[in-house]
Each structure stands twice: as structure tokens, then as C-alpha cells.
Amino acid sequence: MRQITVEQHLDYAIRRDGAAHLTLIDPDAQAPSAASGIAEAAAKAGSSAIMIGGSVGASGDILDETLRAIREVTDLPTILFPSSACGLCRYADAVFFMSLLNSRDVNYLIGNQVAGAKAVMEYGIEPIPMAYLIVEPGGTAGWVGDAKLIPREKPELAVAYSLAGRFLGMRYTYLEAGSGASDPVPQEMIRAVKSAGCETLVVGGGIRDAETARAAARAGADIIVTGTAVEEASDMQSGIGSEIESETETQIQIQKTISKFVNAIKR
């Protein structure tokens, strides 16, 4: 049983280090054993929590097994990042209980939240209320979520959405450029949303290197999310040497990659 909530744990990390790093694992992208390897490396590297989710296929048995495998190797909090009510899982600690405020589809605004609320209550998962905003280019998340993408040169639109979320009681705002995005969320947009009083600002999508992560944190991001960079670090090593050597190499490579992000965002 945790002594503090996951939200308190994140607040503490942000106050201590200036910004926190979350490692995103898509359960559909690798076997549960490989996912647990990433989680273990993330814990050693100083990531503050593991986010679990994906736009397609991140549900059912593979989601359950991934969560269970991660919990076996680390005490880091696990936070669900569901694309629908199907992305809920009883083995997680918390869920980003989010509404995609710039979606045209009522299911992403409130439908899935209604469908999943009872399960969140019954499973005892901590809901963290979040305004989820998808910015150009938006990637798969933008397409699946039928988002009216926020133009990159219109920070004032992101500010208006974030304020609306805050006034509706959402303590978190997530500026999302889409997984693997060619361009991350612009610094000017991050700065504008934070300056407008966003309580906890999460930024992700297309953050591939330490410099980009640092720039986002300096602009005002409280939490930086990376997924693709970590996946690529594990792919890079696969197939080298014997299976055991390769597994160790992979772990080291992942840990190094995450450490760079964690160290870069410290203020």
C-alpha cells in the first residue's frame, strides 16, 4: 500500500528536480518480459513513473500481463494512459483520467470516461484529471482521437483549451504532438500554457534527444514523456551477441537513454 498518492509522488519529483520524466510503454510494442526490462531500466535511470498505453491494441490480456510483469520488477508507480475504456487495468496504480478536449468525437470527450468510471472506482485506481490536447502533427493519436489539431503557430488556442480544462477541475494539461512526431510541441506553446497558470504541464511526442527534453522543461514543462526513443534504444541492440549478452546490452542501452533525459530536465 502506497503512503502517498501517485499525484503527490509526481509533485514531489517536480519540486525536487524541477521536472519529472515518465517512460511510456506501449503494451502492443513488445512482449511483457521486454516491457518489464524497460521498466527496470527506467527505475535505475531515475524516471519517476511508468506510463502504459497506446492508440491501438493496448488492452486485454497483453495489457494485464504487461502490468503484472512491470510490477514484479519495480516499485515505480504505474499510470495508465488509455485511448479508450478498454485501456483500463486493475493492476495499475493510477490513470490519467483525461478528456481529449480538441476531439470532434463525443466518445473521446466524455463517452469513454463514462464507460470506464465504474471500473476505475472498483479497481481502486487513482484518477488524475487531465486535459489532453493534441497539437500538429498529432500522429496516430490525433487520427484515432479525431482531433481538430491545434496549429503549431497558435499557442493562444492551446492556452484557451488548457484554461477551460483547469476551470473544469483538471489539474493536469498534456500537450501531445503524437508519438514519433517529426516535430515536438513548440517551446512558445509550452511557455504560453505554463505562463497562463497551468498547474502541472505534461509534454510529449517527438522528444528524441536530451536537448529537446531540456528545452521543453526550460520552457515550462513539468513532466516530459518519452516512448519512441526508449523503444528505439531497445531495438538497436536486439540480435547482438548471445541472447543473454544481448539482453544485458539492451538493458544498459535503455538505461543510458533514459538517464540522458532525466539528467537533462533537472533544473
Rule CB under 6 A: say whether 186 interacts with ligand 1GP. Answer: no
φ/ψ (deg, to 5) at 57: 80, 5
Q: How far is the CB of 185 from ligand 1GP (least distance, A)?
A: 9
Residue with cell 518489464: 36
What CA–CA distances, in Å, run from 31 to 62, 64, 178? Answer: 8, 12, 23
Distance between CA atoms of residues 127 and 129, nearest Å: 6
Residues with Cβ < 8 Å from 103, sequence gap 6 or more? Answer: 109, 145, 146, 147, 148
Query: Nearer to ligand 1GP by C-beta: 232 or 246?
Result: 232
Told to check if 84 binds ligand 1GP by CB under 6 A, we report no
Could you say which DSSP state residue 242 is in? S
Is position 250 an interface residue for ligand 1GP (rule: CB under 6 A)? no
Taking the complex as a whole, the smallest distance from the CB of residue 181 to ligand 1GP amounts, in Å, to: 6
Residues 143-182 that bind ligand 1GP (CB under 6 A): 176, 179-181
Residue nearest to ligand 1GP (CB): 204
C-alpha cell of residue 259? 538517464
226: contact with ligand 1GP by CB under 6 A:
yes
Instruction: Give yes or no for a contact between 194 and 201, defined as CB atoms under 8 angstroms apart.
Output: yes
**Min separation Cβ 243 and ligand 1GP, Å:** 27
Tell which one of 99, 204, 223, 224 touches ligand 1GP (CB under 6 A): 204
* Element housing 201 (H / E): strand 200-204
Q: Which residues bind ligand 1GP (CB under 6 A)?
A: 24, 141, 176, 179-181, 204-207, 225-229
